[in-house]
Amino acid sequence: MSYNTTERKENFELSPGEMAVVDHASGAVARDTIAPEDIAAWRHGRMFVNDVTIGDVVERLQRYHRAWISVPDPRLAARRVTGLYDLTDPDRALQALVQPYGGRLRKVTDYGRVLTQF
């Protein structure tokens, strides 16, 4: 899905069914659309992401996981994903996040997880 507009440091209003996506590296803000059923997915224990990096998703999932999560391979962290992930089982969500790219979730300790591509 392509963005309608990309804006920097400008104020704009979102209409129903739109969302703003912030690029953490550049600070650029892009306007995109979102399905109504995905708007409040977190209220039902799910997280919807649209065309974001695995690194960004891990950053968001970190809030729901008691373990520290690492993605040491920058190529894996830079892969883009779209999906709906179950927040009630963060390990399952992490595995689902990297599995399409041949990745694996490795449980180092109760308080450490590493996502690898081998």
Q: Are 81 and 97 in contact (CB under 8 A)?
A: yes
pLDDT score recorded for residue 28: 79
pLDDT (average), residues 106-114: 96
Q: What is the pTM of this model?
A: 0.67
Two tokens, residue 56 = 């960004």
102 or 45: whose pLDDT is higher?
102
Radius of gyration of the chain (CA): 15
Q: Which of 18-22, 32-36, 109-113 has the lowest mean pLDDT?
A: 32-36
What are the structure tokens assigned to 14, written together? 């979102």
pLDDT digits (tens, 9 = 90+) for 60-94: 899 889 999 999 999 999 999 998 899 899 999 99
